[in-house]
Amino acid sequence: MTILIDGKKIASQIKENIKKELESLTSKPSFAIILVGNNSASEIYVRNKIREAQNIGIIANLFRFSEDVTQSEITNKIKELNKDDNTHGIIIQMPLPKQIDTKEIINIINPSKDVDGFNPINVGKLNIGIEKDTLLPCTPKGCIYLLKTIEENLSGKNALVIGRSNIVGRPLANLLVHENCTVTMAHSHTKNLKDLCLNSDIIISAVGSPNLVTADMIKKDAILIDVAINQKGMTESGKHILCGDMDYNSILGAGIAKAISPVPGGVGPMTIAMLLSNVLTAYNNNSK
């Protein structure tokens, strides 16, 4: 029987632990969210982050800018937040409009407040040596956490990461190397995805392509983590029906895999839990 990895439940336990840790603090950790424009998906993500933070006693301050915002308006706000001792974390909700140089924006966030883990200093730290207080990108960190609920020691496993984006695939591959996995990274130019999958003890897919990974591509006892969020239609009540990259039902039916994370309810809730954990880390780092 393939184990279902319940990201929602695991994320709630993490948030409960953070909540308990907050009780011993003299002040509340706080982070700022910069949201530009009216992207409906971004609105939902931001609303969820604020709600989850407030539920456990972390302050989330939202700073909204209109779609026609200038580069200097955003950089000025970040510089102000960098200096503000009561702001321990800063995140920029992506995507930003075309006129904004996203790289420059990420570069100017104080690395010690970069709770998304996207600033080059934190990316570099991830490459050359993670320490206890390093701010790691939330989704990859959440994936490793989920894997370890199934198998604590990942050393020596063949791990395949599908997708090579800066926010998921690349940092994830680095984290798996730190776990002593033998890592392969597949991307849009990869020719033999099925062969690579069949050779993998761990497959993590972050592409955005439904049914990219099917039951016939799974090695016995592989652990599968599905990061992708795809929309595959609407319910009668007008809600989006979501799915990942993996053909979840056929993989479950085949029963070959050791474990699989569902979409929704797998990696998604972990991303927010890891963000809140990073805010606490940033708070502790800044209070030293």
Any idea which residues carry the catalytic annotation?
A: 49, 93, 116
Would you give the DSSP letter of residue 90?
E
190 binds ligand NAD (CB under 6 A): yes
The structure tokens listed for 90 are 């800063």
Question: What Rg, from alpha-carbon coordinates, does the chain have?
Answer: 19
What is the DSSP secondary-structure string of 221-250? T-EEEE---EEEEE-TTSPEEEE-SB-HHH
> Which C-beta is closer to ligand NAD: that of 175 or that of 207?
207
**Two structure tokens written together for 80:** 């102000």
139 interacts with ligand NAD by CB under 6 A: yes
Total residues interacting with ligand NAD, rule: CB under 6 A: 24
In the complex, the smallest distance separating the C-beta of residue 232 from ligand NAD, rounded to whole angstroms, is: 12
- Does 174 bind ligand NAD (CB under 6 A)? Our answer is no
229 binds ligand NAD (CB under 6 A): yes
Strand stretches in the chain, DSSP E:
3-4, 30-36, 59-65, 89-92, 158-162, 182-186, 202-205, 223-226, 230-234, 240-243, 259-260
- Choosing from 140, 163, 210, 262, the residue that interacts with ligand NAD (CB under 6 A) is 163
Does residue 188 interact with ligand NAD by CB under 6 A?
yes
Burial class (CB in 10 A: 0-12, 13-18, 19+), 209: middle
Please, what is the minimum distance in Å from the beta carbon of residue 229 to ligand NAD?
4
Distance in Å from the first CA to the final CA of the chain: 47
Applying CB under 6 A, does 187 fall inside the site for ligand NAD?
yes
CB of 110 to ligand NAD, least distance (A): 23
Of positions 227, 243, 273, 279, contacts ligand NAD by CB under 6 A: 227
| Residues near 195 by beta carbon (within 8 Å), at least 6 away in sequence | none
Closest CA to 4 of 215, 257, 218: 257
Least distance from ligand NAD to the Cβ atom of residue 226, Å: 9
Rounded to whole angstroms, the Cα distance separating 239 from 210 reads 18
Q: Among residue numbers 237 through 276, which ones bind ligand NAD (CB under 6 A)?
A: 267-268, 271
Identify residues 194-223 at the interface with ligand NAD (CB under 6 A): 206-209
Asked if residue 186 binds ligand NAD (CB under 6 A), the reply is yes
Which residues make Cβ contacts (< 8 Å) with residue 272, sequence separation at least 6? 11, 48, 49, 52, 138
Q: CB 249 → ligand NAD: shortest distance, Å?
A: 19
Burial class (CB in 10 A: 0-12, 13-18, 19+), 75: middle
CA neighbor of 157 nearest in space, from 170, 144, 141: 144
Q: Name the residue nearer to ligand NAD (CB basis): 132 or 191.
A: 191
Residue with tokens 């990219």: 212
Q: Which is nearer to ligand NAD, 191 or 288 (CB)?
A: 191
Using the rule CB under 6 A, is 165 a contact of ligand NAD? yes
* Of the residues 162, 217, 246, 275, which one makes contact with ligand NAD according to CB under 6 A: 162
Comparing CB distances to ligand NAD, the nearer of 81 and 147 is 147
Least separation in angstroms between residue 76's CB and ligand NAD is 27
List of residues contacting ligand NAD (CB under 6 A)? 139, 162-165, 167-169, 186-188, 190, 193, 206-209, 227-230, 267-268, 271
